[in-house]
Amino acid sequence: MTQLPPERNNTDSATSDWHAMLAGEAPRGGEPAAIPAQTTPVAPAAHGLDSGQPMTRREAREAEQRRAAAIEAEQRHAAATAAAHAATAALAAVPSQTGEVDPFASPSRSDRRAVTPDPLEPEQPHRRRGAWGCLIGLVVVVALGFGAFFFLQGPIAALVDRFQPAEDFEGTGTGEVVFMIHEGDTGESIAENLVAEDIVASTEAFSEVLADADPTPIFYPGAYLMAEQMSAQSALDALLDPANKLENTFVIQEGMWAKNALAEAAAVTGIPIEELQAAAADTTALGLPPEATSIEGFLFPATYTVDPNITAPALVKMLVDRSFEALDAAGVAPEDRWRTVVKASLIEREAGLRDDYYKVSRVIENRLNPELFDSGLLQFDSTVHYGLGDDSVVTTTDAERADPANAYNTYVHPGLPPGPIGNPGDLAIDAALHPAEGSWLYFVTVNLDEGTTVFSSTIEEHDAAVEQFLAWLADHPEYGG
């Protein structure tokens, strides 16, 4: 056998070792070589290797380098593909701007460049925010927005209210309303009365047009023909228009005392108050019930327009006859007029809101029932006020409630008072005839501005409501508490 040169032997040895590694065999004189893992099997010929042709050491080294580069490229391609799938799944988990996700949408050019790099170019380091990072950032921004909204809601609302125009109606209104301006009324009280009659929408709107008026308006007592839901400017114009002032027209309000009603009639008609009082004292000629000692309770609340030449007796009789008409319409028999009017007058003076009329009526019935309330004491401040002749305050003192000399003091005298304590209207008369169902024995109006009244069946509940009223009264000294 011819011996080959050493160089050839070395080459054959290297070539044999390389093919042995490709075959997974151990090279001569060593352990099996580990072949780097790859995703896709690569044929030797693909890298310039031919198992049928021997290679030099240099060719084998170059072939090994090409193979390693190919394996690295395959690994980078696999990693990029996995990253692309992960990005697609993350995007699918976050709603789009329209609330929908298209899982089959193709990535943009920049996305393709980011997830599928060129294997021949060196990879550039970069950072990319994941879908969860974007979502968390969005949640933080939204939370901060809501927090700012709630924190600034109060100041913003106050600022808006400050610059928002006052509530006002539009136009000259609809229908007809007789509006009264009383002696001593101010612009503020007129504004409040206009709102109470649903003529203007707010006191602020009327006060604004009143303040802007030049010259300053002067209001005269009397009756004015107005409309419902007028703009503040239209209401002011109507009050200043002499054509809207009704001559010989006056209004008796619900609950008004007789002496005040007669004074209102005298001021409008020009009839001396003494003549009206003398005509009212003749209860027999007026047809009042035999129990009546005065005209109280039988001057029906309404708007009256009278002939300029009417006499005092004719005027008073007209008012009483109107009261009888209302009682007859309610189904009150003549023999029941007295008790009905007395009870209705209590309801008119004590009740606030419409539903309260019927509840107050039930309280009166329950307290007069000895099986439910053994003392029979109504304990109404309104009756004490009537006996004192003073309705300027809403409360009574301990001494006033303990005074037996006051015949109208229902804190010491059981049963109904000796007569009506005002002039009731249709609603009070109906409530007197149809009390609500309930076990209430007490009630107290805890907010005089709103008329909110608490009805109670036990003294403990009532005492708690009284404390609520006293707390409100302490904040509103204008009510004479």
Indicate the range of 75-89, 205-219, 342-356, 456-470 predicted with least confidence.
75-89
Does the pLDDT value for residue 423 go beyond 90? yes
Confidence (pLDDT) at 460: 96
- pTM above 0.85? no
Does the pLDDT value for residue 36 go beyond 50? no
Confidence (pLDDT) at 92: 55
Confidence (pLDDT) at 66: 77
Place of tokens 């054959």: 12
pLDDT digits (tens, 9 = 90+) for 319-359: 999 999 999 999 999 999 999 999 999 999 999 889 999 99
- Confidence grade of residue 287 (pLDDT, cut at 50, 70, 90): very high
Confidence (pLDDT) at 202: 95
CA-to-CA separations, 301 to 296, 354, 449, in angstroms, rounded: 12, 16, 22
Residue of higher predicted confidence among 447 and 59: 447
Percent of the chain with pLDDT over 70: 68
Residue 238, SS3? helix
**DSSP single-letter state for residue 57:** H
- Give the mean pLDDT of the chain: 80
Confidence (pLDDT) at 135: 65
- β-bridge partners, 455: 443
| Alpha carbons 38 and 68: distance in angstroms, whole number | 10
Confidence (pLDDT) at 477: 85
Does the pLDDT value for residue 45 go beyond 80? no
Confidence (pLDDT) at 168: 95
| Alpha carbons 434 and 429: distance in angstroms, whole number | 9
- β-bridge partners, 303: 251
Instruction: For 177, list phi and psi in degrees, rounded to 5.
Output: -135, 130
Residue of higher predicted confidence among 428 and 62: 428
Q: Mean pLDDT, to the nearest integer, of 34-62?
A: 48
CA-to-CA separations, 112 to 78, 93, 116, 446, 456, in angstroms, rounded: 14, 20, 6, 74, 77
Indicate the range of 35-49, 67-81, 428-442 predicted with least confidence.
35-49
- In degrees to the nearest 10, what's the CA dihedral of 160, 165, 170, 172? 150
- Confidence grade of residue 122 (pLDDT, cut at 50, 70, 90): low
Place of tokens 């503020």: 188
pLDDT digits (tens, 9 = 90+) for 365-418: 999 999 999 999 999 999 999 999 998 877 899 999 999 999 999 999 999 999
pLDDT digits (tens, 9 = 90+) for 176-219: 998 988 878 899 999 999 999 999 999 999 999 999 999 999 99
Q: Mean pLDDT, to the nearest integer, of 269-294?
A: 96
Closest of 204, 169, 268, 253 to residue 425, by C-alpha: 253
Structure tokens at 193: 């009365």
